[in-house]
Chain A
Amino acid sequence: MQKNLKTEFCGLKLNSPIVLLSGCVGFGEEYTRIDGFSNADVGAICLKGTTLEPRLGNMPHRVTETPSGMINAIGLQNPGTDMVINDIMPNLDKSETRFIINISGSSVEEYGEITKRFDDTDIDAIEINISCPNVKEGGVAFGNDPDMSYRVVDICRKNTSKAIITKLSPNQTDIAFSAQRCIDAGTDGLAVINTLMGMSIDTNTKKPIIGNNQGGLSGPAIKPIALLKVHQVYQISKHHNVPIIGQGGITTANDAIEFIVAGAATIGIGTALFYNPLVCHKINDGISQYLTDNKLDSIDELVGTLALNNFISSCK
């Protein structure tokens, strides 16, 4: 791994600024089936959204392609907190990368309880998902209400000394205000953004293609939206030294650099893996080369270096 890619995020030492995103790489081992793929090529891996009790998830179809992206409604299928802790975590190779658990609850108390259980493990950090669009109770309902977001982050904060990352929903009016409330409640980092809600219809049957009727839109289609949200959140988070995992439609090194310039300290890769399971090599190489070409020693020097145009009022 190139030396200039090393970075730190919420106190975690990372090999690379790439974070593999929750829900796209199962519980950390799935992509190692691919010859040439290594967890050591990424800085951290967010494990699948985990709830207190096991969940079967939604009925099929759960995924479908849409223009420049895809819709998913998995419905947080997972084996439950105890199984993740007892059966899955012991098998993770922690020498390769950092592991972040992604948690979801249907009540504030459930978020608190799951956090408490993971606090007793060797997980590297906890990502609070208050932005899942695909479950009936909880999820995005917490993320779209800044006061509820505050309460969720607050209870998690009280239950762990590990780093907490709060994953924000783009499906809300003022993401920056929400970010502020999560920072007030003590989040160490922010993940921006989760999927946008969307729909796809089969015109033969006049039914939604996705079993859950609606789902979360990801992939290049959401990149410009995600980039603006990262920029908006960074205007708040930079004053508190709260770093951002920028995500939403990143498929190339150039996309990643755009997010870093907008204010992301690390960048998330999800849907791009479905296109090309070996995409991380290209992104690492591209970022490293860009740093070298621009005579920068590390990513930190690039974060939030956006130079806004200062003639944004309309031309007279």
Chain B
Amino acid sequence: MNRSTIQVVDCQILAHYQFESAQFILTLASDSIAQKTKPGQFVHITVSDALAMRRPISIMSVDAKNGTFDLLYKVVGEGTRQLSERKVGDVLSIIGPIGNGFKLTDKKLPLLIGGGVGMPPMIAIAQQIKDTDYDPFVILGSEVPFPFTPELSKMGNPCPKVSHTMPLLEGWGVACRLASLQGYEGVFKGFVTDLARTYLDALSVEDLVQVEVYACGPHPMLEAVANLAKEYNLPCQVSLEEYMACAVGGCAGCVVKVQTNQGVAMKRVCVDGPVFDVTTVF
């Protein structure tokens, strides 16, 4: 067992921005979390004094030098609503970083697919590999306005007619395109998996074997990603969600059904995941 790998820290809110459709980006201060986090890990947050059970939220990006990290969340119920009311200067109790995170492999063309509030772990991977010899392509999907202002990308375009990207990723030099059924300007009209298909179909045979898919998003999206990975015969890691109590492996509250060599097992999303090999969970 990995003793003492998870910190309990009081983190001050340094920034808290609201975007359309009750989406928020929260910047918190913690040297230890900023320095230790791996892409795909999450934190477990006490949102207010009124709600004692914590809420799990993925870490989107870190600033190790300044000791800060960012979260992106959407208000869906009472917990996230109370979180959205917390002000700059407030202090939140945080447990983290938690979870196995994504495993970067020797495949040099990571295809990162994030849907809705499944975007943060993809951005976390992009941040980790932006200055390496990996050549990632990111696809972000949303059915509500994106929690950033999409901008025209100047980076080489693997998907003709789809022009807009996330400014943060553009700044990092990571290629990205957006997808939505809503018909936003410069955004691919369709599912993230359809845009992924356009990208994959344009790759040479040699490049295709260099692709590994990483995904996080709503269940139907992950199912579609699972089918896509199968169709193109690509390895694929997905990050899952489940209701949690402890988030440290103690309660077995957060399990999902996983296929193992020994048959079906119920694995804990908090510490055995949240990232799983797609073929074991779909």
Tell whether B161 is near chain A: CB-to-CB under 8 Å: no
Q: How far, in Å, is A118 (CB) from chain B's closest CB?
A: 21
**Interchain CB contact (< 8 A) of A33 among B2, B51, B254:** B2
Tell whether B46 is near chain A: CB-to-CB under 8 Å: yes
- Cβ contacts A60-82/B at 8 Å (1 or 0 each): 11111100101010100100000
Using CB atoms, name the residue of chain A closest to B247: A274
Distance in angstroms between the alpha carbons of A285 and B201 in the assembled complex: 64
Distance in angstroms between the alpha carbons of A30 and B53 in the assembled complex: 18
Distance in angstroms between the alpha carbons of A35 and B5 in the assembled complex: 6
**Interchain CB contact (< 8 A) of B251 among A24, A29, A36:** A24
**Interchain CB contact (< 8 A) of B245 among A33, A34, A57, A63:** A63
Residues from chain A with a CB closer than 8 A to the CB of B250 are: 24-26, 30-31, 273
Given A25-B250, A56-B264, answer yes or no on A63-B93 (Cβ-Cβ < 8 Å): no
Given A56-B265, A274-B52, A274-B245, 18 new contacts (CB under 8 A): A23-B251, A24-B246, A25-B250, A26-B250, A31-B250, A32-B3, A34-B95, A57-B252, A60-B242, A60-B254, A65-B53, A70-B53, A77-B252, A77-B255, A274-B246, A275-B52, A277-B8, A277-B95
B248 A30 Cβ-Cβ under 8 A: yes
Tell whether A162 is near chain B: CB-to-CB under 8 Å: no
A-B pairs with beta carbons under 8 A, tally = 112
B255 A60 Cβ-Cβ under 8 A: yes
Most buried by A among B7, B256, B266: B266
**Interchain CB contact (< 8 A) of B3 among A33, A65, A91:** A33
Q: How far, in Å, is B3 (CB) from chain A's closest CB?
A: 5
13 A-B pairs within 8 Å (CB atoms) are namely A23-B251, A24-B251, A30-B1, A34-B248, A36-B8, A60-B254, A61-B242, A63-B254, A65-B52, A65-B79, A74-B251, A274-B245, A277-B8
Distance in angstroms between the alpha carbons of A218 and B86 in the assembled complex: 27
B254 A62 Cβ-Cβ under 8 A: yes
Tell whether B249 is near chain A: CB-to-CB under 8 Å: yes
Distance in angstroms between the alpha carbons of A24 and B253 in the assembled complex: 9
Tell whether A48 is near chain B: CB-to-CB under 8 Å: yes
Given A33-B5, A68-B52, answer yes or no on A62-B248 (Cβ-Cβ < 8 Å): no
B4 A72 Cβ-Cβ under 8 A: no
Interface residues of B (CB under 8 A from A): 1-8, 46, 51-54, 79, 93, 95, 242-246, 248-256, 264-266, 271
Given A24-B250, A34-B248, A273-B250, answer yes or no on A57-B255 (Cβ-Cβ < 8 Å): yes
Given A70-B245, A72-B245, answer yes or no on A33-B271 (Cβ-Cβ < 8 Å): yes
B252 A48 Cβ-Cβ under 8 A: yes
Scan residues 228-262 of chain A and give those whose CB is less than 8 A from a CB of chain B: 251
Distance in angstroms between the alpha carbons of A65 and B248 in the assembled complex: 17
Given A61-B242, A273-B246, A274-B246, answer yes or no on A35-B252 (Cβ-Cβ < 8 Å): no
Using CB atoms, name the residue of chain A closest to B78: A65
Given A33-B2, A33-B271, A273-B246, answer yes or no on A219-B251 (Cβ-Cβ < 8 Å): no
Q: How far, in Å, is A271 (CB) from chain B's closest CB?
A: 8
Residues from chain A with a CB closer than 8 A to the CB of B3 are: 29, 32-33
